[in-house]
Amino acid sequence: MAAARGLSLTAATQRAVTPWPRGRLLAASLGLQARREASSSSPEAGEGRIRLTDSCVQRLLEITEGSEFLRLQVEGGGCSGFQYKFSLDTVINPDDRVFEQGGARVVVDSDSLAFVKGAQVDFSQELIRSSFQVLNNPQAQQGCSCGSSFSIKL
C-alpha cells in the first residue's frame, strides 16, 4: 500500500520540508514553545516557573515603589553567547509572564522565558558588588565566571 502511495517526494513537497537555517529554526521553536507555555499554564505551575530567593524578594520590596517590578530579559552577547539584563519597569506587555512571590514581582517576556524557564532569581551582596543574578538555570549549558552570560543547551 505504501508503494502505491509513492515514497518519492515531488519538487513542491521537497521545498515544503526543506529545513530553515539552524538559527532561525531554533529562535522560532523557542519563541513558539514559550508562547505555548505562557498561554496554557499558570505561572505557579510546571517547569516554566521562575522562582525568587528570599534575598531577591527582600531587595525588590526595598527598591520598588507602587507598580514597579523587576524585568528580566535575555539578550545576545556576553562572553558565552547570551546575557541576562535586569531593569525596573512599570509596563506589562501582552506577551509578558508575571512571577510574584511575597509581594515582589519579576516579569519575563515570552522570548526570554524560553531561555530562563525553571531558573531562580537571586540578589547577591558582596564586598565588590551587589546585583540580581540568575541561578540554577536549567536551560544554560555553561556560563561565564561572573555569572552574567551563558550558553544554551541545544
C-alpha separations of 16 from 10, 13, 19 in Å: 10, 5, 8
pLDDT tens profile 60-70: 999 999 999 99
Does CATH place domain 51-149 in 2.60.300.12?
yes
Strands of the 51-52 sheet, one edge to the other: 51-52, 120-125, 130-135
The DSSP output letter for 28 is: H
0.85 cut: is pTM over it? no
pLDDT tens profile 77-116: 776 778 889 999 999 999 999 999 999 999 999 999 998 9
- Candidate ranges 13-17, 78-82, 121-125; pick with highest mean pLDDT: 121-125
Domain layout of the chain by residue ranges: 51-149
